[in-house]
Structures are given as C-alpha cells and as structure tokens.
Amino acid sequence: MTYSEENYIKVIYHLSLVSPKGINTNAIAGMIESKASSVTDMLKKLADKELVNYQKYQGVTLTQKGLHAAKMIVRKHRLWEVFLVEKLDFTWDEVHDLAEELEHIKSEKLINRLDEYLGFPKEDPHGDPIPDRYGQLVKVDKQLLSEILPSKKVICLGVKDSSPSFLKYLDKHQIALGSEIEVVNKESFDHSLSILINNRQILISNKIASNLYVKLI
Amino acid sequence: MTYSEENYIKVIYHLSLVSPKGINTNAIAGMIESKASSVTDMLKKLADKELVNYQKYQGVTLTQKGLHAAKMIVRKHRLWEVFLVEKLDFTWDEVHDLAEELEHIKSEKLINRLDEYLGFPKEDPHGDPIPDRYGQLVKVDKQLLSEILPSKKVICLGVKDSSPSFLKYLDKHQIALGSEIEVVNKESFDHSLSILINNRQILISNKIASNLYVKLI
DNA sequence: AATAATTTTTAGTTTTGTCTAAATTTATTT
DNA sequence: AAATAAATTTAGACAAAACTAAAAATTATT
Ligand SMILES: [Mn+2]
Ligand SMILES: [Mn+2]
Ligand SMILES: [Mn+2]
Ligand SMILES: [Mn+2]
C-alpha cells in the first residue's frame, strides 16, 4: 500500500465510524483535501486491491481487509502520538501532524515493540482508543458534555476535535483529560454552559461543550 | 525536498566522503539502484534547487546547502538507529532498513527531542558518527583491521559494511563494538588473519578484516 | 591521431496521483 | 413528471520519478 492509498483507507474508516452506510466521494474529497475526480480514481484502485466495496454512484465501504488495514494505520498513528507525548515531552496539540507522517512507517515489529515500550496504552493523548495488534479496540462509553444535564458531575475523557486551537483553548482553561466537571447551568438561548472545574466556575460555548467527551461519575 | 531527492543527496554525501572530487553518474545509479539516465534527470533537478553543483559530464558535488541537508538526513538516520537499538531492543542488523524510512520524517523538533532523549549519542550502533544539530560531527581516528600489523592489539570501533549478513557474522563470532582484538598472524597468500578475541583464536578472511574499523590500544 | 570502449545525456514512454472541464447519473424542486 | 440542482464519473492533461533505446561526449587503446 502506498502512502496515498493508506490515507484514503484511513479517511474512509474515520467517516465510517460516523455514518456506517456507504461513504460519499465528496466527503472523502473534503477530508483528504483533493477533488472528487481524484477520489473516484483512487476508489477504483482500492476496489481492485479488494480494500473497498465500490459501485459507481453508490458510495464506498471498507472490506474486511480494508478495515483491518485502516485499524493498523490508526494504531500506528495513536501509538506514535503517545510516544511523542510520554517520551519526548510533546504537548497534545503538537503531535497529530507528526503522527500523520509516522503512521506510514511500514513495520509490524516496530509498532509492536513501541506498543510494548509504552506499556500497551489503551488510549492516545486525545482520549481516542488504540487498536491492539489484532485490530481489537476498547470502546469506552462517552457522551458529549453538551448533552449533560445541569447539576450532573462528569469526568473528562477525550476530545472530538483535536485541532491545536481547540486543545490550546482547553489548556488555557485548565481542562484536561481526567478533569472533574460539574455542569452548573445551561443557557437555553445559545446552549452555552456554566461549569465548575478546579473549584472555579467558567462559561463555555456550546461549540466547546460539543467537542468534549465526558462520562458521568 | 521529496523522499527521492533526499535519497540522492544522501548517496552523493556518502560517495563524497570516499572520493572528494566530482561524483559520477554511474556511481550514484549503483548506490540508488536506478539507471544512469534517471540520475541525470535528478541531478538537473537538484542543481535547480541549488543543492548540488552540476555540469554535464563533469560529475557532481554538494553545495553548502546540499551538504547541510545531507548531514541532517544522516543525523536522523543514525539517531533513529540508536533509538531502535537502545529503547526498542532491536539488534544492530535489523535497524538500517527501518532507519531508511524514518530518516525522511520531517521535523527538526522531533529529531532534536529524540537526540536529547537518547542522551546526545555521538555514534550509531555501527560506530558511525552522528552529526549534531548544526551538522558538526566527531571524526574518530580509525583504521581497517586489515591494515594492522601482527602482534598489535586493537579495539573494535565500527563496521564499514553494515549489511545484516556481515553483522550476523560478527555476532556469531562474538565480535562487537568495544571488543579487544589481537592480530596474531597475517597470511601473505590471501591476506587472511589469525586474531585473538575473547581468549579464543579465530581465522578471519581479508574481506572481513577490511570491513572492520579498529584503533590501536 | 584515429578508433574503440565507456560514460553520460537526450528523447520518448510509463506509472502514480493529481487536476480541470465536460458528461452522466442521482436527488430535489417546482 | 419535468425541470433543475447536486453529486459523481469520464476524458484528457500534467508533474514526478522511473525506465529503454539512441545519440553524444569523454576516456582509453591501438
Ligand atoms: Mn491524531
Ligand atoms: Mn489522537
Ligand atoms: Mn544505517
Ligand atoms: Mn548505522
């Protein structure tokens, strides 16, 4: 598999988690920052290699083989992110782009050794699950903070958006994975939230709240 | 710089160390396992980017810019090799091919953090020097074992050939970096050597001896 | 100095992955 | 059910990096 093929497979995988039916050409083009015609070309190639099920105009799904390949790329991406944060002291907003490169290094042995070296982590620095060497992953039950009712207490488990700007916002407000948050009030007009975190009460917008994964304590 | 351009620059650098005059098209083609015509095409491109000095039929040399780029690639290659051996328990015969991939990961910050994490090593697992972040490298005075006179004692510093087959040969005969070797006898007919290592006397061919770097104790 | 051998370059293709523009299919409105 | 809009595919082109075969330049040999 080429670098480019791997990126397509990974994007189709991520889109499949959100909408389990056939994935649109345009959705893929959007994620990969290319044009629909380029996507069509690639889908034919991936179908030839039996990595995707593709029929003209009908969208695309991963085959078993494609799904496994995708999980292995995600595994590599997330293990490298853990390495960068845990061992090389990178911050959680710095690692994604680097992992985009590192995820294409082709060696099962390397990634399994890295996994072992890191102590077989189950989650990456953004709270996303890391598939094991067989593609198995632990699905933790999480909700978006925006869905939590007032007076409930939650613990922060992960982020939906892992862009540097969002992560830096969280750092600034001292919201980290593991933080305890109490929803004090929900504003019905704009769906903003008053939350209690680290004994301080702060106001966050709905956009923030709908990008934070939490679970009830 | 593309993956391929980086490989060419690195090969020209390695060839320059052996013969400091202009590097031949064919020599490059041999190292990179491509054809002379492909090399000519690439040399034009590298000259456009001011990474090499190139004039038709006159061979090629690295510019200052090209030399620095080459050293940074070699730095990355060798630091990754150290990482794989020191942290992930790879053997010295397993790491070269992996480092060929890892050396293309583009991040100064990553490589400088890795350098720090590894304790700023001066040499890679094969005894080759690691350029620092400015391209500076410590040149250790070493000779080939084949040039050592009988009855002299040396310490093993590195390998010239770092192919898995040669490295495995050394492992099998318990010759490692740091090993003490005494040259007992040199056979004038085939230039093979009798050496004393780990209190055992063994016979090694000239080919082996001329791929082992040593220094007199 | 002329010829032969070797090396290097040029010319013309190929493959991969991308693009634009046009054509086709599917979905949405009127 | 047409007509219109949107999504998707096809056709044709291009750049990167490789190739083969032929031409040109350099080097070695007679
Ligand atoms: Mn990431
Ligand atoms: Mn992540
Ligand atoms: Mn190496
Ligand atoms: Mn090495």
CATH number of the domain that residue A51 is part of = 1.10.10.10
Question: Where among A12, A47, A62 does a domain terminate?
Answer: A62
B105–A113: do the CB atoms touch at under 8 Å? no
Q: Is residue B210 one of the residues assigned to a domain?
A: yes
Given a contact cutoff of 8 angstroms between Cβ atoms, the answer to whether A142 and A213 are in contact is: yes
User: In this predicted model, what pLDDT tens digit does every residue of B140-168 receive, in sequence order?
Assistant: 999 999 999 999 999 999 999 999 999 99
User: In this predicted model, what pLDDT tens digit does every residue of B70-92 receive, in sequence order?
Assistant: 999 999 999 999 999 999 999 99
Report the pLDDT averaged over residues B15-20: 92
**A153 Cα to the center of ligand 3, angstroms:** 53
Rounded (10°) CA dihedral B112, B115, B116, B121: -150
Q: Is residue A54 one of the residues assigned to a domain?
A: yes
Question: Where among B44, B62, B80 does a domain terminate?
Answer: B62
Q: Which domain holds residue B8?
A: 3-62
- Which residue has the closest alpha carbon to D18 C1'? B38
Q: The whole model's pTM is what? A: 0.95
User: In this predicted model, what pLDDT tens digit does every residue of A79-94 receive, in sequence order?
Assistant: 999 999 999 999 999 9
Q: Is residue A168 one of the residues assigned to a domain?
A: yes
Q: What is the pLDDT of residue A150?
A: 96
Q: What is the pLDDT of residue A15?
A: 97
Q: Is residue B10 one of the residues assigned to a domain?
A: yes
Q: How far apart are CA B11 and CA B30, in angstroms?
A: 10
Q: What is the pLDDT of residue B170?
A: 98
| pLDDT grade for B20, boundaries at 50, 70 and 90 | confident
Domain total of chain B: 2
pLDDT of residue A37 exceeding 90: yes
| pLDDT grade for B34, boundaries at 50, 70 and 90 | very high
Protein residues closer than 7 Å by CB to strand C: A 2-5, 32-35, 37-38, 41-42, 45, 56-57; B 24-27, 36-37, 39-41, 43-44, 54, 56-59
| pLDDT grade for A20, boundaries at 50, 70 and 90 | confident
Question: Where among A42, A62, A82 does a domain terminate?
Answer: A62
The full DSSP string for B124-177 is: -TTSPBPP-TTS-------EEGGGPPTT-EEEEEEES---HHHHHHHHHTT--T
Q: Is residue B111 one of the residues assigned to a domain?
A: no
Nearest nucleotide (C1') to alpha carbon of B60: C8
Q: How far apart are CA B181 and CA B196, in angstroms?
A: 6
CATH of the domain at A187: 2.30.30.90
Q: B-side interface with A, Cβ within 8 Å? A: 84, 87-90, 94, 98, 101-102, 105-107, 109-110, 113-114, 117
Q: Which residue has the tokens 């982020």?
A: A159
Question: In angstroms, what CA-CA distances link B88 with A158, B91, B94, B95?
Answer: 29, 9, 11, 10
pLDDT of residue A43 exceeding 90: yes
Q: How far apart are CA B64 and CA B182, in angstroms?
A: 42
Q: Is residue B89 one of the residues assigned to a domain?
A: no
